[in-house]
């Protein structure tokens, strides 16, 4: 009875229903609506994301674009002989309120052998937060998938100097196309504009 009432409230308010079996990271993602804005099923495990000076991107913490300028270190428990795909994406482009370019993807690496991220195939090079002025907090979401096998990616390769082509990305469609299934691990941080953002736009050719 009580559960039904709660479920009804969740459905009416448009939020994903919280299940007792949800992993901790899934609960955080539902709380800040990364689920359902990016994906339906949350990851089982926390992905460890460490920026310069040991700054952790964890559970939706607010960081600044300056803090996340450089590519972070990503750690997970890998299985030998397995390939992984890493996605970093922002559903809040250009703002969470009006996400007309949802999603803007920041980083895409496939065919990562085990936990050796630097040996993966970089499809889109890393860029940090470029949240436009006065657009509030953006949710930068990292997801790690276990690949069924080594894959042939036919995505257009994008360097860190290319902004165009990163918009209108769909994590759901990408996962469907390459049969990646549900994410193994994930995490996210939030950030809003600071005065390092114009420098990033210059880098991206905006």
Ligand X SMILES: *[C@@H]1O[C@H](CO)[C@@H](O)[C@H](O)[C@H]1NC(C)=O
Nearer to ligand X, 18 or 101 (CB): 101
Is 83 in a helix, a strand, or coil?
strand
Binding residue for ligand X (CB under 6 A) from 119, 133, 168, 201?
168
Nearest Cα to Cα of residue 17 among 34, 35, 37: 35
* Structural tokens at position 79: 């299985």
Minimum CB–partner distance for residue 59 and ligand X (Å): 30
Least separation in angstroms between residue 101's CB and ligand X is 5
Q: Are strands 61-62 and 185-191 parallel, antiparallel or unpaired?
A: parallel
Distance CA 176, CA 63 (A): 31
Under rule CB under 6 A, which residues in 169-198 are in contact with ligand X?
none
Size of the site for ligand X (CB under 6 A): 4
- C-alpha–C-alpha distance, residues 86 and 141, integer Å: 10
Q: Is residue 167 within the footprint of ligand X (CB under 6 A)?
A: yes
In 3D space, the residue among 88, 102, 168, 172 whose CA is nearest the CA of residue 135 turns out to be 102
Of 167 and 194, the one with the shorter C-beta distance to ligand X is 167
Closer residue to ligand X (CB): 78 or 158: 158
Give the residue at shortest CB distance from ligand X: 168
Residues 35-94 within binding reach of ligand X (CB under 6 A): none
Q: Are 188 and 34 in contact (CB under 8 A)?
A: yes
- Based on CB atoms, which residue is closest to ligand X, 136 or 165? 165
**Which of residues 2, 13, 53, 100 is near ligand X by CB under 6 A?**
100
Task: Kindly state the smallest distance separating residue 202's Cβ from ligand X, in Å.
Answer: 20
Smaller CB separation from ligand X, 49 or 127: 127
> Environment class of residue 98 by beta-carbon count within 10 Å: exposed (0-12), middle (13-18) or buried (19+)?
exposed
185 strand-pairing partners: 45, 144
Task: Name the site residues for ligand X (rule: CB under 6 A).
Answer: 100-101, 167-168
């Amino acid at each position: 009875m009580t559960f039904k009432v709660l479920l009804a409230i969740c459905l009416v308010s448009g939020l994903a229903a919280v299940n007792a079996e949800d992993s901790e990271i899934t609960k955080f993602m539902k709380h800040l609506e990364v689920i359902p804005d990016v994906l339906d099923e949350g990851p089982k495990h926390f992905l460890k994301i460490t920026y310069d000076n040991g700054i952790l991107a964890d559970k939706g913490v607010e960081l600044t674009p300056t803090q996340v300028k450089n590519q972070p270190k990503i750690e997970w428990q890998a299985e030998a002989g397995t390939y992984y795909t890493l996605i970093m994406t922002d559903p809040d482009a250009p703002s969470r309120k009006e996400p007309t370019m949802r999603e803007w993807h920041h980083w895409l690496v496939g065919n990562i052998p085990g936990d050796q991220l630097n040996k993966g195939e970089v499809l889109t090079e890393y860029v940090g937060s470029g949240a436009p002025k006065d657009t509030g907090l953006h949710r930068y979401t990292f997801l790690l998938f276990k690949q069924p096998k080594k894959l042939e990616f036919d995505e257009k390769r994008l360097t860190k100097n290319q902004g165009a082509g990163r918009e209108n990305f769909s994590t759901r469609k990408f996962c469907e196309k390459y049969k990646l299934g549900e994410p193994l691990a994930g995490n996210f941080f939030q950030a809003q504009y600071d005065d390092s953002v114009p420098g990033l736009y210059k880098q991206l050719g905006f």
